[in-house]
Amino acid sequence: MQPLDEKTLRASFVNTSRKELSDLTLPDDFDTLDFSRLDYLGWRDRRIARRAYAVVPAGPDAAAGDGPGSSGSGSVPGSAGVPGLIGIMLKQAEASPRTRAQCSLCQDVQLPNDVVLFSARRAGPAGRNGNTIASLVCSRFECSTNVRKLPATAYVGFDVEAARTDRIASLRSRVAAFARAVLDPAAPPTP
C-alpha cells in the first residue's frame, strides 16, 4: 500500500467518534513501517484493551466523504475522509474462538498465529444504532506477512510465485470488501 502520514491516517477513519479518534495511539513502529510489504495497516491500541484499527486501501471510489453509508461525513463531523482509504476502529470480542480458527482475510491454512473475532461499528447512523460487522482476523494483523510466505510446493511444476501473487491479490480484495461493508449499512457480514 502507499505510505501514510499521521494526518492522512487519522482522516481516513469512518466509524469513530471524535473522542475515540483522539484516543487513538499509532503503531509503535509507525515511523519505520515498510508499507510496500503491507496490503493494509492493522494494529492494536497499546493503551486501550481490545481496541484495534485497520486502515485499508479500498479502491479509488471509496471514501469516508462519499461512501453510501456515511451520510456525507462518516461518523466524524467535519471529516472529509480520504479518497480510496477506509480507516476502521475494531473491538476484539471477549470470547476467543473455541478451536484454532482461520483468518477470514488471509485464510492462511497453516494457522501460524492466533485468530480472534473483531467487530467494527458501521459508519454513520447505522453504527450509532448499534449495527456492527464482525470477522475472524489474525490477532496482530499478520495477514500481509502470511500471504507473502512461499506456499509449500504442491506438485512438480506448481508455480509458487504465482500462488503467492494470487494470495496477495485475494487478501487485498477481501480486506477491501470488509472495509466497504463497514461503510454500507445494507451489506451482509463478510465471512
Write down the least CB distance from residue 138 to Zn ion, Å: 3
| Min separation Cβ 13 and Zn ion, Å | 21
Task: Find all residues with CB under 8 Å of 92, minimum gap 6, and list them.
Answer: 50, 51, 52, 116, 117, 118, 139
Task: Give me the residues paired with residue 83 across strands.
Answer: none
**What residue number has its CB nearest to Zn ion?**
103
The distance of closest approach from Cβ of residue 57 to Zn ion in the complex, given in angstroms and rounded to an integer, is 16
Give the shortest CB-115-to-Zn ion separation in angstroms.
7
| Shorter beta-carbon distance to Zn ion: residue 2 or 110 | 110
Query: How many CA atoms within 13 Å lie on the side-chain side of 155?
Result: 0
C-alpha closest to that of 35 among 80, 74, 66, 5: 5
Kindly tell me which of 137 and 183 has the beta carbon lying closer to Zn ion: 137
Nearer to Zn ion, 9 or 106 (CB): 106
Residues that bind Zn ion (CB under 5 A): 103, 105-106, 138, 143
